[in-house]
Amino acid sequence: MKILVVGAGIIGALSALQLRRSGHAVTLIERDEPGMQCSYGNGGALSPDFCVPFALPGMMKRIPRWFADPNGPLFVDWRHLPKSLPWLFEWLRQSKLDKVWHNARAMRALHGPCIDLYESMLGEKAAGLIERGGSVYVWKTPKAGPTETLSRTIRETMGVQVVPLQGRQVQEIDPNLHPSYCNGLLFPNNGHTVNPLRLTQTIVDMFVAIGGAVIRDDVQGPVWKDGKVIGVQCSQGSNLAERMVIATGIRGKTFAAQLGDHVLLQAERGYHVMLPDPGVRPALKISNRDHMFGLAPMENGVRIGGTVEISDPDAPMRPERARSLLMHARAMYPDLNVEGAEFWMGSRPSTPDCLPIIGPSARAPNVLYAFGHGHSGVMASPMTAQLVTALINDAAPPVDPTPYRPDRF
Ligand SMILES: Cc1cc2nc3c(=O)[nH]c(=O)nc-3n(C[C@H](O)[C@H](O)[C@H](O)COP(=O)(O)OP(=O)(O)OC[C@H]3O[C@@H](n4cnc5c(N)ncnc54)[C@H](O)[C@@H]3O)c2cc1C
């Protein structure tokens, strides 16, 4: 079949590669350079263990404290609040226990095999790009409370391997970390990519090498004929195809609305600070759970990334959010060299239940959505690409697609 994949972030790129591999004539349409939007600046975590949704019972008790702290992990742009309310209400609804377990299982299905799948999909190109070696959560004080207890139960039930760390055990894992961080959890089966942009670009190169086509253009909407979508209208003309995959990240909502599909998608804007010559490096991917951000040792320096900002994706960035990350990181690694620090902001395409939107449009079943991967698009991408390919080929899906269906809200 002739297939158009719109959006060359990590989701579109890997889906295009897998579709091409299964024999289709695939064209990837991207308005920017491939991989330069959200897939550029993320923390690169590949965490098979990531199966605890953010909406949990008891979470509301933590949120006021985060709001009160100008350097805290959560910021809401009040001007944007009216537009965000339906999403925020649904987020609250998703914190009910039965929904939490449902979402946790669906997260585990997507993320569990991510490293194995990347290695098999990338073959020899995975070497030097995908690193195993684990990741670690650290705290200054042990966190007790309902959300931590539930998180532990979920991980145990899902069979996630976790090693608790106390006191000097934390510094044995990462000798450069300040000794005040004396509680931790080691996830030995996690990993990360050392360069998220190179990961997407490598996949696009592999796609082109096997006959995939890439067009640089801005998709403006569907082309209809006789009640059927037969292609997409771009700024430089129309492109026709039998099937279309919409993998436009946070912009997915626009195309869905043009087809009359209602999806709940909110920009959870996040920031990173890239330190090209950090002096000290974390020994492995590390998450500070007191302030909810992470540091990743990357091939071009150390990346400090995190924070959630509920705002308009097109609003100007707030550099003070990135400066807060830097401040917290220096408390963990006092010898960090911050010279040449670069700030970046990107919009996580987030849904209230922490699950992506993967499946056909209700009005145009030949259009498949693959966006809304929120905090975990890099780790969810291989399974998403497999699922997209199976749905297009009408083959047995690798995981139950029901939890990700576009009309679930
Ligand atoms: C600070 C931060 C840290 C993160 N850390 C991690 C992490 O450690 N691990 C992890 O798994 N995830 C992480 N994420 C999330 C991850 O980055 C995203 O889930 C993922 O990049 C989404 O990929 P995507 O391909 O859907 O979107 P994008 O990368 O945004 O790609 C969408 C593409 O569609 C194109 N596009 C949009 N509209 C059009 C149009 N009309 N016409 C043509 N092209 C169009 C865009 O230009 C873009 O290239 C993090 C995110 C942030 C912000």
Q: Which CATH number does the domain housing residue 6 bear?
A: 3.50.50.60
Compute the C-alpha angle 7/10/14, nearest 5°: 90
Q: Nearest Cα to 135, choosing from 285, 336, 246?
A: 285
Q: Which residues of the chain have pLDDT under 70?
A: 143-145
Examine the domain organization and report whether 134 and 164 are in the same domain. yes
**Total of domains in the chain:** 2
State if residue 251 touches ligand 1 by the CB under 6 angstroms criterion.
Answer: yes
Per the DSSP assignment, residues forming a β-bridge with 80 are none
pLDDT, residue 70, reads: 76
How much distance in Å is there from the Cα of 252 to the middle of ligand 1? Answer: 11
Same domain, yes or no, for 145 and 258? no
Same domain (yes/no): 334, 362: no
User: Are 270 and 330 in the same domain?
Assistant: yes
pLDDT at 65: 74
* Spatial CA neighbour of 145 closest among 61, 68, 74: 61
- Residue whose Cα lies nearest atom 39 of ligand 1: it is 248
Domain end point (choices 334, 350, 366): 350
Residue 144: its pLDDT value, please?
64
| Amino acid residing at 365 | P
Atom of ligand 1 nearest to the CA of 380: 11
Alpha helices, DSSP H, located in 212-345: 252-258, 319-332
In a domain, 48, yes or no: no
Residues 152 and 226 reside in one and the same domain = no
Cα-based distances in Å from 253 to 11, 73, 249, 281, 405: 15, 25, 9, 38, 14
Of 312, 327, 350, which closes a domain? 350
- 43 within ligand 1 shell (Cβ under 6 A): yes
Q: Give a yes or no: residue 47 inside a domain.
A: no
Q: Give the domain range for residue 332.
A: 56-97+126-191+265-350
Please tell me whether residues 321 and 362 are part of one structural domain: no
Say whether both 92 and 131 belong to one domain: yes
Same domain, 85 and 159: yes
Judge if 286 and 379 occupy the same domain.
no
Per-residue pLDDT tens over the stretch 289-299: 989 999 999 99
Query: What is the pLDDT, as a whole number, of residue 141?
Result: 80
Same domain flag for 209 and 257: yes
Centre a 10 Å sphere on the Cβ of residue 321 and count the other Cβ atoms it contains: 22
